[in-house]
Structure 1
Amino acid sequence: MDLERNVPFDVEAYEARVRSRPCFICAIVAGDPGYALEQIVHEDDRHLAFLARYPTMPGYVLVSPKRHVEHVVRDLDEDDYHAMMGVVRKVALAVEAVVPSERTYLLSLGSRQGNAHLHWHVAPLPPGTPYRKQQFHALMSENGTIPWSQAHAEELAARLRAALA
């Protein structure tokens, strides 16, 4: 499958936005209505999982702690780290149950310069993706994003919530 990633992504505008605005994850935790595309698919007392605003693959989900922490190793004690990874695994299994995937990429990205709030990416690689378009190429929005709308987000979120129930 050669996934159609025909929505251009303005990297410079994105960088300016994430470096000049308050934390987007804290805004989602607070219920900011400006983040409706980031449909929440899982929430417990300490964690949140939500759809990516700029998905490069169907089923792309971010998982984060609710409290603002920035470093995946230093800012979590062992129990918090294991709890976080338990949620990442649970969400990844639900994503794989709902979205066809050849492999699921799990990684923590972000920077103190932008998107500092710790989050894990759960990114399901569509089956049949040519090798040259896998791995980092598949994750990079610079290569385009998939067509995405509020209706797409709500439909996928409902299916993921059902799989997580």
Structure 2
Amino acid sequence: MERRPMDIEAYTERTRNGPCFVCSIVSGAPGFEHEVLFEDDDHIAFFGRHPTLPGHTLVAPKAHVEHVVRDLDEAAYTRTMLVVREVTLAVEDVFESERTYLLSLGSQQGNRHLHWHIAALPPGVPYEEQQYHALMTENGVLVVDPVEYAARAERVRAAISARGRLAL
């Protein structure tokens, strides 16, 4: 997996002082185009722009909520977690993994909009490069061929559809 350095300063500036990235993706704002893998009235799933692992995917409620548990009632939380599960299984169908990491990251200081990261760890990654090390953009981000990623996005969309648990 070829990596390139990540401009952490520019990323930090955008996440702390720019518009909400999820709301911008949902609204179709210029500069926030992503490979959308799933979308319904309440959720969106898309490939991350700065992947540290192949198929790094984010799932978020479309409504701007910020806290992973307390901002969602039980039904909304359960539905969100079902979307996370189904998208994760589809990502695993396309990207070989020995383990899949699920995390809700962000803070009130940046990336406030609730979102879940789905990151499939490929087999054979040395232990020292797994877990948080594998997720840290400070260790570089993957160089992604847009044509290949678009094809893989289509395969993930097809896997989600084939599972039949989420209405597209």
TM range (shorter): over 0.9
Provide the C-alpha distance between the structure 2 equivalents of 1:70 and 1:152, rounded to a whole number of angstroms.
Answer: 33
Task: Give the alignment partner of residue 147 of structure 1, picking from 139, 143, 146.
Answer: 143
The letter for the 2-side match of 1:76 is L
Instruction: Give SS of 1:104's match.
Output: strand
State the one-letter code of the partner of 2:78: H
- TM (norm. structure 1) is 0.94
CA distance in 2, matches of 1:33, 1:129: 36
| Structure 2 alignment gaps of length 5 or more | 162-168
Q: What SS class does the counterpart of residue 111 from structure 1 fall into?
A: coil
Q: Whole-Å Cα distance in 2 between the matches of residues 128 and 138 of structure 1?
A: 12
Structure 1 residue 41 corresponds to structure 2 residue 37:
yes
| Whole-angstrom distance in 2 between the partners of 1:56 and 1:143 | 8
Cα drift, residue 14 of structure 1: 0.8
Counterpart in 1 of 2:19? 22
Give, in whole Å, the separation in 1 of the partners of 2:42 and 2:89: 19
| Residue in structure 1 matching 2:131, options 131, 135, 141 | 135
Q: How does 1:15-164 map to 2 (within 5 A)?
A: 15-36=12-33, 38-164=34-160
Q: Distance in 2 between the 1:32 and 1:53 partners? A: 15
Letter of the structure 2 residue corresponding to residue 32 of structure 1: A
User: RCO (CA 8 Å, sep 6+): is it higher in 1 or 2?
Assistant: 1
Alignment correspondent of 2:165: none
Q: Percent identity?
A: 58
Per-residue CA deviations over 1:112-160 (Å, capped at 9, x if unaligned) read 1111000000000011100000000000010001102432331221111
Q: SS of 2:138's equivalent?
A: helix
| Residue among 4, 18, 28 paired with 1:7 | 4
CA distance in 2, matches of 1:152, 1:70: 33
How far apart in 1 are the matches of 2:90 and 2:17? 34
1:153 to 1:32, Cα distance in 2 relative to 1, 3 A: farther
SS in 1 for 2:142: coil
Alpha-carbon distance in structure 2 between the residues aligned to 1:61 and 1:131: 22
What RMSD, in angstroms, separates the aligned Cα atoms of the two structures?
1.0
- The normalised TM-score by structure 2 is 0.92
In structure 2, C-alpha distance between the alignment counterparts of 1:115 and 1:152, rounded to whole Å: 28
